[in-house]
A and B are shown apart, each in its own frame.
Chain A
């Protein structure tokens, strides 16, 4: 298994543009998590899905952020419009139904100019 796959690995965009981050979890893992990591705040949970259903989105900072999981093998995190303070590394992680471990992807480094 290739592990969690995220794309793009790096994204540079201008303020006001729409940004879409993508994640393919490990096959068979039914929980999916989106995190944001910054130097100041460390890792923060944005939203997590269980069996493709959003369970807790209390970490989503603003209405500019939205996430979807249309099927078990794909999820997106969208920022519209993007702002410079959204610059961070965004991680996707997944967990198997009976497991205790979260497996992280390599992250997407987002820079909003």
Chain B
């Protein structure tokens, strides 16, 4: 059963704590992405990776970090430097085609 897994679906953290969001894919796609969704703002790109051991900052990378040690995995760490971390986070992959991306189910992070 191919797809993208994001866990957990809901995550609660105290302010000042770092938290890592998981994204795993078995689609054998090279490119992986992290987006953040806020009401009325669509999807904003945080980080993306086109190949293992390489990644680039997106439009709103401040306060976030990523790693890409394996093709299947692209975890996102939300650090305490991120001023407004409460949001819905989406992971996506791309097979290399014309921009069509496949999305995971998302993780809703709430910082208390």
A-B complex is real: no
